C-alpha cells in the first residue's frame, strides 16, 4: 500500500454537505473514510427532521452522491454491541451498503462477533477494544484489567471468532505484534506533533504508530481542522503522508 492508502479520515461532521465537501477535497489523497456514530445519526436526522420536505430530499441526494463518490471506501464505525441476533441483523444491513469495513465491539462477546462475521458479506469485520479516551485507571474500573492485558484478551477472542482486524490505541500495538496476532491493526488516537490531543489519552504520532506496527491510521480532527500554520485538510493529509513514508523508510 502507498502511504495515502493507510489513512482513514473520520467524517465526524453534523451535516451531509460538510461530509461531501470534505470527501471531495480528500478522496484522491486518502484510502478510506470513517462514518461513525455522529455522522450516521446526523444523516438520519437530516432526512427525518430537516424542517422541510424539500430540504430532506436535497439531503437525500447529497447522501446518495456521497456514497457514490466514496465507492465503498468506508469504515462504518457502528461499534455494534448487543445480543448476537441483533449484531447479526445490523451486520447484514450494513454489509448491503458495500462498505470496506465495519466495527463490532469485542465486549459484546465471542458469539456476537461470530454472527457479525457470518453476515459480513464482502466487508471486513473489525473488533473495537478499549477506547482511546479511557486511561489505565478507568480501564481497570470497567474491565478489571489494564489496557494492554485487556486488548490482548480481546484480540484472542476476535481471532477465535474469525474477525479480520482489531481497533485499539497505538500504545497496545507492540504487545499485539509481539503476541503474533494476525489481525489487521486499525489505530485511532493518532495525533501529529502539531495537533492537539483533545480528549484522546493514549496517543502516538503517525510515525510512531507505523513503526509500532499499525496497518491503518484513523485520523479526524487534525485533518478536518488543522492549525492555521499547517493550512487546510489537503495540506494536513500531505504532511501525514510524508510522515508515514518517512517511517517506512526508517523501518526498511
- Which helix or strand (DSSP H or E) is residue 101 part of? strand 101-105
CA–CA separation, 208 and 72 (whole Å): 29
- Which helix or strand (DSSP H or E) is residue 223 part of? helix 221-224
Residue found under cell 454491541: 81
CA–CA separation, 162 and 176 (whole Å): 17
- With beta carbons less than 8 A apart as the criterion, state whether 72 and 96 touch: no
All cell numbers assigned to 224: 478536518
The residue from 4, 34, 68, 79 that is catalytic is 79
Beta strands in the chain (DSSP E): 7-10, 32-35, 74-80, 101-105, 124-128, 165-167, 184-187, 216-219
Name residue 218's beta-bridge partners.
Answer: 8
79 as an active site residue: the answer is yes
CA–CA separation, 13 and 22 (whole Å): 10
Per-position DSSP letters for 71-90, written without gaps between them: TT-EEEEEEE-S-HHHHHHH
Name residue 126's beta-bridge partners.
Answer: 103, 165
Residues with catalytic annotation?
A: 79
Amino acid at each position: 500500500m502507498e502511504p495515502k492508502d493507510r489513512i482513514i479520515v473520520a467524517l465526524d461532521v453534523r451535516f451531509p454537505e460538510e461530509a461531501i465537501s470534505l470527501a471531495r477535497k480528500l478522496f484522491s489523497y486518502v484510502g478510506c473514510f470513517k462514518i461513525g456514530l455522529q455522522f450516521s445519526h446526523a444523516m438520519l436526522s437530516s432526512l427525518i427532521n430537516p424542517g422541510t420536505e424539500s430540504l430532506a430530499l436535497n439531503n437525500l441526494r447529497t447522501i446518495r452522491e456521497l456514497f457514490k463518490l466514496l465507492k465503498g471506501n468506508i469504515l462504518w464505525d457502528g461499534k455494534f454491541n448487543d445480543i448476537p441476533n441483533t449484531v447479526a441483523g445490523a451486520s447484514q444491513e450494513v454489509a448491503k451498503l458495500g462498505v470496506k469495513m465495519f466495527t463490532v465491539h469485542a465486549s459484546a462477546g465471542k458469539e456476537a462477533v461470530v454472527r457479525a462475521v457470518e453476515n459480513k458479506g464482502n466487508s471486513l469485520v473489525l473488533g473495537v477494544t478499549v477506547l482511546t479516551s479511557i486511561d489505565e485507571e478507568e480501564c481497570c474500573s470497567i474491565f478489571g484489567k489494564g489496557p494492554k492485558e485487556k486488548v490482548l484478551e480481546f484480540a484472542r477472542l476476535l481471532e477465535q471468532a474469525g474477525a479480520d482486524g482489531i481497533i485499539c490505541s497505538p500504545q497496545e500495538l507492540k504487545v499485539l505484534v509481539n503476541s503474533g496476532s494476525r489481525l489487521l491493526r486499525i489505530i485511532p488516537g493518532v495525533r501529529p506533533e502539531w495537533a492537539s490531543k483533545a480528549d484522546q489519552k493514549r496517543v502516538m504520532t503517525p510515525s510512531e504508530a507505523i513503526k509500532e506496527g499499525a496497518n491503518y491510521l484513523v485520523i479526524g480532527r487534525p485533518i478536518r481542522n488543522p492549525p492555521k500554520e499547517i493550512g487546510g485538510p489537503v495540506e494536513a493529509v500531505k504532511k501525514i503522508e510524508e510522515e508515514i513514508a518517512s517511517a517506512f523508510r526508517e523501518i526498511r
